[in-house]
Amino acid sequence: MSIFKFRVLLEDPSEETIYRDIAIKSTQNFDDFHEIIVAAFGFDNSQMASFYVCDEEWNKGQEISLFDLNMESDQTKILVMEQTIINTQVTCVGAHLIYSYDFLNMKNFFVELIEVQVKEDDKGFYSKVVYSQGEVPVRKEEGAELSDEELANKLLSEAGFGEEGEDENESDIFDGFDDFDNYQ
């Protein structure tokens, strides 16, 4: 049995290098790999994700998606993580993958196979984080300091509605139900 050791490096604009070294059986699937990456970096696993097999210059090739979205073209078949065994796509030390998580707030990771260990009979638990460096920066969501009502009012205002939910761009012939009797 082979144990693959991957370095998973978070693409981060800050100066800090943030990565996790992950050991996983070569016969596990990409869904197992996805699960350990999400756990290792402290994400909530509520977002879409994909792996991309890359060449030496990190150019994306074959996509391995979390779910089958039936979006494949005639030339490219998109693989599904749960059905794709790691050693069918990663075959040698130095192989590159890009892992993309949360397509709205894109987080990209550079993944490289850094070591292959051949073990006769290993009953250890895999997948697991074997080394960790750096902390994932916590991005403060815009409006997080506002109450629910304040946030709702802010969003309505930005959409062009007044305090009472009325469209500021429209003029109305009456201001409320009390004025309705005057127009009958």
Answer yes or no: is 22 within a domain: yes
So what's the pLDDT on residue 143? 42
CATH number at 32 reads 3.10.290.30
Q: Which domain holds residue 53?
A: 2-133
Q: Is residue 73 part of a domain?
A: yes
Sign of CA dihedral 110, 8, 50, 142: negative
pLDDT tens digits, 54-84: 999 999 999 999 987 766 555 678 899 999 9
- Calculate the alpha carbon distances from 161 to 158, 169, 180 in Å: 7, 8, 22
pLDDT at 87 over 90: yes
- 85 assigned to some structural domain: yes
- Rounded to the nearest integer, the mean pLDDT of the chain is 82
The answer to whether residue 53 is domain-embedded is yes
Q: Are the CB atoms for 95 and 111 separated by under 8 Å?
A: no
- For the full predicted model, state whether its pTM sits above 0.85: no
Kindly state the average pLDDT of the residues 124-135: 91
**Does residue 88 belong to any structural domain of this protein?**
yes
Unique residue bearing structure tokens 């991005």: 139
Task: Confirm whether 51 is domain-assigned.
Answer: yes
Q: Is residue 163 part of a domain?
A: no
pLDDT at 165: 45
In a domain, 56, yes or no: yes
Provide mean pLDDT across the span 32-45: 94
Q: Please, are residues 21 and 131 in contact by the beta-carbon 8 Å criterion?
A: yes
User: Between the ranges 67-81, 106-120, 137-151, 162-176, where is the mean pLDDT highest?
Assistant: 106-120
Dist. CA 43–CA 67, nearest whole Å: 18
Q: Please state the domain count of the chain.
A: 1
